[in-house]
Each structure stands twice: as C-alpha cells, then as structure tokens.
Structure 1
Amino acid sequence: MLFPDYIFETSWEVCNKVGGIYTVLSTRAKTLQDKIKDHIIFLGPDCWQETPSPYFKEDKKLFAAWQQQAASEGLAVKVGRWDVPGEPIAMLVDFQSYFAHKDEIYAELWVYYHVDSLHAYGDYDESAMFAYATALVVESFYRFYLSEKDKVVFHANEWQTGFAALVLQHRLPQIASIFTTHATGIGRSIAGNNKPLYEYLWAYNGDQMASELNMESKHSIEKQTAHYVDCFTTVSDITATECKELLDKPVDLVLPNGFENDFVPKGATFTKKRKAARKRLLDVANALTGDDIQDDALIVSTSGRYEFRNKGIDVFIESMNRLRFDENLKKQVVAFIEVPGWVAGPRQDLVERLNSGKQFDTPLEKPVLTHWLHNMDHDNVLNMLSSLGINNAKGDKVKVILLPCYLTGDDGIMNMSYYDLVLGNDLCVYPSYYEPWGYTPLEAIAFKVPCITTDLAGFGLWANTEKGKYSEIEDGVKVLHRTDYNYSEVADGIKDTIACYSCFTKTEVNKCRSNAEKLSRKALWSEFIIYYEQAYDIALKKAAARNK
C-alpha cells in the first residue's frame, strides 16, 4: 500500500475545542505522529487573534524561512504545536483578509466545481474563507519545501473545509485529497426538524431537501467535495447509507472513530477520582433537593450537544419519568443531563450550600437546575421536566438535574472536568436518534461506566458487530433498537435496563464494568488506524492516475 510522505489535515476543530471532531483528530494525532514524525501537519482557524489559544503553543523557529516567505505572500499563519499527546505540528490560519474577495472566490468555485454559494448565510462565509486561506497556506508550504517526488495527502474534515480540498485540487492536482463527512448536513437537519429520516431515506432527494431546509450552499459544498476528491469517507455504516442517498455518492471507505485511553486514570488514582466524583455529584443533588440521597444511589447521566431530539434527550427524560413509578427499581437514581445551554451563571444559593459542607433537608427553589439560564421559559429540558411533573420532590426515587454548562473545571458548581466527573457515573445513557458515531458512549466505557445507546448510532452498530448480536448491559453496552417511530419502546428499554441494573450484585456490577472497559480497548487508534492507511492508499493511487 502507498503511504504518504506528508499529510496535511484540516478541520474547524483543530486547536479549537467545539465538538467530537476535536476528539477524533486530537487523539489520532499521536498515532500518526509516531508513524511519520513531524510530517503530519494540522491546520485550524485562528479564532483567537491576539489572545493565545489554550490548545496551541506557537514556535516562531519552526519552518522559520518559510514563515518569512508566507508573510511576504500575505499569508497570516501562526506555526507551532497542538498541545495534545504527540504534540504534532499545527498551523493556525487567519482568514479575515479574504472576505473582501469572497465574490470572486465563490465565482471561481462555481466555474470549476459547480459549488453554489449564492444562498450562503451564517457560518458558511466564515468557513469558506478559512478553507480558502488554508489551501493557500498548504500550497505555499508545498512549493517551498516539497516537490512531485513527495507523496502528499490533504485531508479535509466536514463541509467547512471542503473548499480547501477543491481549491488545492485545482491548483496542485498532484496532491491526493481525502474528504471525511462526520455527518451529512442534510441528514442532521432532517432529523433535527422532526422529520422521519430512516424509513424514508431512500425517497429523499438531497438537493430538494437542501432547498426546503434553506441549506443549499452548505449542501452544495459538501456534495461537490464528495464527488470530486480522490477518496470520500465517513465514520460509520449508518452515515455511509446517508451519503449514498443524500449526496448521491457512495463513500470509498468507512473510517471509524478510535481514541486513546491514556487519559483514563489507573489503579488507586482511578478509585480515588471515582470516589471524589461521586461525592461531588451526590453533594450537589442533596444541596439542590434537600433529600437524603444514599451513598449507593445509582448515578446516571446523558451528555453531549444540546440537540434535544437528535441526541435523545427527550427520550432520556421520558424514561426517567417512567422509572419514578417502576416497582422493580431497587435503588435511588440521580440522573444528570449534561448539555451546554445559555448559561447566565452558577446559582449562588447552591454555591453557598455547597461551601457550607452541611447536609440539607429542604429543597432550593427550582431544584432541577445547577445554573441559571438566560432562557428559562424556553429551555426544552426544563419545559419537559415541568410538563411531566418532575420537580425532585422529597421521596421521589428518581431525581433529574440539568447541568447546562461545558464541564471544563471552572463552571462554579461542579468545578471538575468532564473526564473527572464521568467516572463517577454508574451508567451513562445516550439514546440518540441521529448519531453518526458517538464518542460519549465510547469514552464512558473506557472509564468502566456501562452505557445504553441505540442502533441508530454508529458506535451502537459497531458494538453489535463486535458481539455478533444485540449487545446487552452485561456486555458493558446495552444497544436498543430505535426507529423513526418507537420512542415509547426506547423509553421503556432505558427504564427496564436501569431497573435491572439496580438489582445487580456487586460481582455482577464489577463484571459488567470490566466488560465495558474491555470493549473500549477494541476501539483504540492502534486498531482503527489501518482504515486511514487504506484511505491514504486509495487517494494516492487516484492522484497518481490523474497526473499521468
């Protein structure tokens, strides 16, 4: 198989922690860095300008001669290292100067690749200008240091960077191109607009839906990039089907998302951190509700983007509501919904209670919420809790708490990072309706936390494949069958699984936790990097054929 001498990889989430793609790239970086030391170069947007990025360490000596050359060409780029394991080279690209020329740039892309930018709005312009600037940076570096003797791959992630792949293909056709869509824009939008995605997938026309959902330009760049690059990929079989139907282009390869488990603490450190996380979660629950919550209460959570239907937050709340009345439930349950909302700030009444170190027997006002929100009356979670009568009353076996902030260790209430909190859970629940892969369940099982997910998530399908059947909670992951229409059955499935888990003996729990961690090891990058090697090979061979 052909393997590149240089890889340039770009994403809006390089050195910019926004969502799951940050995790994909930052954890894979070490594996590639070990393989081709400093010949893997990541390119991300310079969102910080004068403020230093918390994820990037600038190094003005790195490629110093080229940095001078790039500056003389009018390219504004910072060179340094991404502050993640492996510390790969990263470049932050400033793209502000290109907005003045966007009409000419869009016209060129229409002429060469039929990309329709006429209907652009919102983040389309910003993404396109970043991607265009990125292409110029890679071209400049290539012309300064490399030649046609070098096997070079350019890897673009998501529609935001499709422009870069197409511009480079036009200007430097000798560079092999890969495009990975981590979720189709149209698929996510259909699902998010409460339309049935799966049963009618074969009948949807992507272009028509783009027009209906006001997404013509984003759909156009995604579709045209998929059609023109040397190797088109996505992250799971379920999204591959979506690409074929909505982008009219089958993928060349599926690249499942792996991860590194070096951030998972071991031995006594793990035990200590789990104890600290459980204490904090239970203390917050007591301070909010004023109820006596036992040490053996089951701590359950769901987390991720605040996509109420797509991430299954609605069905999670419904399942907790039903669990309140389930006679098979043998323990108290404290369920956290950890999704970032429009936070006004931490609740001072809750802060005061937590700082007092006391136990409380009266609830605070609105005991379902850790932080005040700007949009209290319009928040989907709060409205659903209210409509179901979930108010964390004394004696309720199930407490549900919205924790609406990014868990970076400085939120004012938990003051612990997501990874330090997640290991305090007994179960995690991710009942997604739309989930191309699903990092949250993979991370949960790496921390020995069994989880519940669905077969509409790429991760759930993968877990079933590994087991050769529907995976059960005893295997570490319970995969529920989910369709466009079986919301109620999924809610019951979650309820029944948690009730069943509450009856497990300590031995059964330990076996379940051990099986979860064992399954996670099968998704390490050392297992999955082979798929990337195949993609590089496909792209390089196609580029070579194009340039004969």
Structure 2
Amino acid sequence: MLFPDYIFETSWEVCNKVGGIYTVLSTRAKTLQDRIKDHIIFIGPDCWDDTSSPYFREDKSLFSVWQHTAAAEGLKIKVGRWTIPGEPIAILVDFQSYFQQKDDIYGKLWEYYQVDSLHAYGDYDDSAMFSYATALVVESFYKFYLSEKDKVVFHANEWQTGFAVLELQRRLPQIASIFTTHATCIGRSIAGNNKPLYEYLWAYNGDQMARELNMESKHSIEKQTAHHVDCFTTVSDITAKECQELLDKSVDVILPNGFEDDFVPKGAKFTAKRSAARKKLLSVANALTGSDVADDALIISTSGRYEFRNKGIDVFIEAINRLRFDDRLNKQVVAFIEVPGWLAGPRQDLVERIASGKHFDSPLEMPMLTHWLHNMDNDNVLSMMRSLGMNNAKDDKVKLIFIPCYLTGDDGVLNMSYYDLVIGNDLCVYPSYYEPWGYTPLEAIAFKVPCITTDLAGFGLWANDEKGKDSDIEDGVQVLHRTDYNYSDVADGIKDTIIRYAALPKAAVDKCRSHAVRLSKKALWSKFIKYYEQAYDIALHKAASRTL
C-alpha cells in the first residue's frame, strides 16, 4: 500500500473549535504526527486577526525562508503549532484579500467543474475564499520544497474546503486528493426542516431538494468535489447511503471517527473528579429548585449542538417528562440539557446561592435554567418544558435543568469543563434523529458512563456491529431503534432504560460501566487509522494514473 510522504489536511475547524470536526482532527493528529513527524501539516482559517488564538502558537522559524517567499507572493499566513497532543504544524490563512477576485474565482469554478455559486449566501463566500487561499498556500509550499518524486496527499473536510480540492487538482494534478463529508448538506437540511429523511431517501433527488431548501450552492460544491476527488469518504454507513442517494456518488472508504483517551483521568484522580462533578451538579440542582436531592440521585445528561430535532433534544425532554409519572422509578433523577443557546449571562441569584454553600428549601424563579437567555420566550427547550408543565416542583422526583452554555470552565455558574462534568453522570442520553457519527456517546463511555443512543447515529450502528446484535445498556450502550415516525416509542425506550438502570444493583452497574469503557477502547485511533491508510492508498494510486 502507498503511504504519503506529506499530508496537507484542511478544515474550517483547524485551530478553530466550533464543532465535532475539531475533535476528529485534533485527536487523530498525534497518530499521524508520530508516524510522519512534521510531514503532516494542517491548514485552517485565520479567524483571530491581531489577537492570539488559544489553539495555536506561532513559530516564525518554521519554514522561515518559504514564509518570506509566500509573503512576497501575496499570501498572508501564520505558521506554528496546533496546541494539541502531538503539536503538529499548522498554517493559518488570512483570506480576506481574495474577496475582490470572488466573481472571477466563481467563474472559473463553473467553467472547469460546473460549481454553481450563483445562489451563494451566508458562510459560503467566507468558505470559498478561505478554500481558494488554502490551495494557493499548498501550491506555493509544494513548488518551494517538493517535487513529483514526493507522494503528497491533500485531505479536505466538509463542503467548506471542496474549492481547495478542485483548484489544486487543476493546478497540481500530481497531488492526490481526499474529500470527507461528515454530513451531507442536503441530508442535514432535510432532517432539520422536519421532513422524513430515511423512509424516502431512495426517492429524494439531491439537486431538486437543494433548490427547494435554498441550498443550491453548498450542495453544488459538495457534489462536484465528491465526483472529481481521487478518494471520496464519509464517516459511517448511514451517511454513505445519503451520499449515494443525494450526491449520486458512492464513497470509496468509510472513515469512522476515533479518539484518544488521554483526557480520561485514572485511578484515584478519576474517583476524585467524579465526586467533584457530582457534588457540583447536585449543588446546582438544590440551589435552583430548593429540593432535597439525595447523594445517590441518578444524574443524567444530554449534550451537543442545539439542533432540537436532529440531536433528539425534543425526544429527551419527552422521555424525562414521562419518567416523572412512572411509579416504577425507584430513585430521584436529575437530568441536564447541556446545549449552548443564545446566552445572555449567568444568573446572579444562582451564583450567590452556590457561593454561600448553604442548603436551600425554596426554589428560585424559573428553577430549570442556570443562565439567562436573550430569547426566553421562544427558546425551544424552555417552550417544550412549559408546554409539558415541567417546572421542577418540589415534590417532583425527576428534575430537568437546562445549562445553555459552552462548558469551557468559565461559564460563571458551574465553572467546570465539559469533560470534568460528564464524568459525574450515571447515564448519558443521545437519541439522535440525524447523526452521521456521534462523538458525545463515545466520550461518555470513555468516562465509564453508559449511554443511550439510536441506530440513526453512526456510533450506534458501530456499537451494534461490535456486539453482533442490538446493543443493550448492560453492554454499556443502549441502541434504540429509531425511524422517521417512532418518536413516542423512542421516548418510552429512553424512559424504560433509565428505570431499568436505576434498579440495577451496584455490581451490575459496575459491570455496565466496565463494558462501556471496554467498548470505547475499540474506537481508539490506533484501531481506526487503518481506514485512513486505505484512503491514502486509493488517492495516491488514482493521482499516479492521472499524471501518467
């Protein structure tokens, strides 16, 4: 198998923590850095102007001679290290100057590849200009340091970087290209617009749906990149089906998302962190609701992007509401929704209560919310809770609390990072309707927290494959069957699983937790990197045949 001498990998999320692709790249980086040292180079957007990025450390001594040459060519770049395990080289690209050439760039994309940019709006232009600039940076570096004797792969992630693949293929056809779509534009949009995706997937025409959903330009670049790239990839079997139906292109390789577990504490440190997380979460519950919450209360959470239907936030709320009325539940439950909303700021009344260290027997106003929002009246989570009468009454054995902020350790209320909090959970629930992979359940089980997910998530399908059957909570992951129409069944499935888990004796719970972490070990990058090796091989052979 061919393996590259150099890999250039680009994404809007290189040194820019905005979503799950950041986790994919930043956790995989060390595996590649260990293998080819500084011959893996990540390229991301310079979103920071004159301020310093918390994820990037500039080093002007790296490729210093080329940096001067690139500057003379009009390229505005910063070269340094991505401050993640492995500390790979990263190049941040300032793309603002290319907006004045936008019409000409779009014209050539249409001329060479029939990419339709006429209906562009929103983030399309930023992505296109960044991607175009990225192609110029790689071309400059290649011509300065490399030659056709070097096996070079350019790996683009998501539609935002498809322009770079196409531009490079035209300029330097000897560079092998890989394109990974982590979720198709049209699939996500169909699901997000409350249309049934799966039952009718075979009948949808991607181009037609792009026109209907006003996604023509994003769909066009994604589709044309998929068709022209040397190796087209995605992250799961379920998204591969989307690609086949909506992009009219089958994938060459599936690249499941692995991770590294070096962020999981061990031994006594694990125990201490779990205890601290539980103490914090239960103190927030008491301070908000004024209820007596037992130390052995079952702590449950869901988290992720605020995609109310796609991430299953709606069905999670429904399940927790039904749990309130089920007499079989033998424990108190405190459930958290950890999803960033339109944040106005921390609640000072809550902050003062927590700081006092006292125990409270009366609730605060709106005892289901840790931070104020700008859109209190029309927030989806609060609206659904109001419609169901979920107000965390004192006699409710089930409480539901919305934490509408990024858990980075400085939110003003909990002041603990997401990883430092998730360790305190007893169960995590991710009942996704649309989820190409799903990092949150994988992270949960790495912290020995069993989770509930669905077979519409790539991770859920993988867990079933690993078990050779439908995975149950006793296996560490409960995978519920989900369709376009069985919302109520999924809500009952979540409720019943929580009740069953709450009734398990300690020895059985310990076994569930052990099975969870054991499953997570099968998703380490050391296990999954082989799929990338296949993709590199396919791309390099294809590029070699193109340049003969």
Paired with 2:102 and 2:425, the residues of 1 have a C-alpha distance of 48
The aligned residue for residue 517 of structure 2 is 517
Superposed displacement of residue 175, structure 1: 0.1
Q: TM-score normalised to the size of structure 1?
A: 1.00
2:168 is the counterpart of 1:168: yes
CA positional deviation for 1:349? 0.3
What aligned pairs does 1:214-363 form with structure 2 within 5 A after superposition?
214-363=214-363
Deviation at 1:118, TM superposition (A): 0.3
Alignment of 1:406-425 (within 5 A): 406-425=406-425
Aligned pairs (5 A) from 1:115-134: 115-134=115-134
Q: Which runs of 4+ in 1 moved over 4 A?
A: none
Q: CA deviation at 1:155?
A: 0.1
- Which residue number corresponds to residue 543 of structure 1? 543
What letter corresponds to residue 182 of structure 2 in structure 1?
A: H
- Cα distance, 1:531 vs structure 2: 0.1
Deviations 1:407-458 (A, max 9, x none): 0000000100000000000000000000000000000000000000000000
Amino acid at match of 1:141: F
Q: How far apart, in 2, do the equivalents of 1:391 and 1:485 lie?
A: 28
Q: Which residue of 2 aligns with 1:476?
A: 476
Partner of 1:100: 100
Distance 1:358 1:84 in 2: 39
CA distance in structure 2 between the aligned counterparts of 1:475 and 1:362, rounded to whole angstroms: 40
The one-letter code sitting in structure 2 at the alignment partner of 1:443 is E
Task: Name structure 2 gaps, 5 residues minimum.
Answer: none
Distance 1:128 1:81 in 2: 24
Question: How far apart, CA to CA, are the structure 2 residues paired with 1:328 and 1:494?
Answer: 14
Matched residue of 2:261: which SS?
Answer: coil
The AA in structure 2 aligned to 1:335 is: A
Partners of 2:150 and 2:528 lie apart in 1 by 25
Q: Which residue of 2 aligns with 1:492?
A: 492
Q: Which residue of 1 aligns with 2:198?
A: 198
Amino acid at match of 2:270: F
Q: For the residues of structure 2 that align with 1:185 and 1:335, how far apart are their CA atoms?
A: 32
Question: Residue 105 of structure 1 aligns to a residue in which SS?
Answer: helix
In 2, Cα distance between the equivalents of 1:115 and 1:303? 36
Structure 2 distance, partners of 1:398, 1:11, is 42
Instruction: Tell me the percent identity.
Output: 82
Any idea what the Cα deviations from partners look like across 1:77-105, whole Å, max 9, x if unmatched?
Answer: 00000000000000000000000110000
Matched with 2:403 is 403
CA RMSD, 1 decimal: 0.3
> Helix, strand or coil for the counterpart of 2:38?
coil
Deviation at 1:328, TM superposition (A): 1.2
Q: Distance in 2 between matches of 1:383 and 1:198?
A: 28
Q: Distance in 2 between matches of 1:417 and 1:83?
A: 18
Counterpart in the other structure of 1:81: 81
Q: State the aligned residue count.
A: 548
Secondary structure class of the residue paired with 2:116: coil
Give the Cα separation in 2 of the matches to 1:44 and 1:265. Answer: 30
Q: 1 CA distance for matches of 2:186 and 2:96?
A: 28
Residue 29 of structure 2 is matched in structure 1 by 29
The CA distance in 2 between the partners of 1:419 and 1:79, in whole Å, is: 30
**What residue number does 1:14 align with?**
14
What displacement does 1:395 show?
1.3
CA-to-partner distance for each residue in 1:335-364, whole Å, 9 max, x for gaps? 000000001000000000000000000000
Structure 1 partner of 2:454: 454
Residue of structure 1 in register with 2:374 after alignment: 374
1:112 positional shift: 0.4
Per-residue CA deviation, residues 141-182 of structure 1 (Å, 9 max, x unaligned), is: 000000000000000000000000000000000000000000
Match in the other structure for 2:508: 508
Equivalent position amino acid for 2:288 in 1: L
Gaps of 5+ in 1: none
* Letter of the 2:252 counterpart: D
Q: 1:420-435 residue pairs with structure 2 within 5 A?
A: 420-435=420-435
CA distance in 1, matches of 2:90, 2:287: 44
TM-fit CA distance, 1:327? 1.2
Q: What residue is the counterpart of 2:177 in the other structure?
A: 177
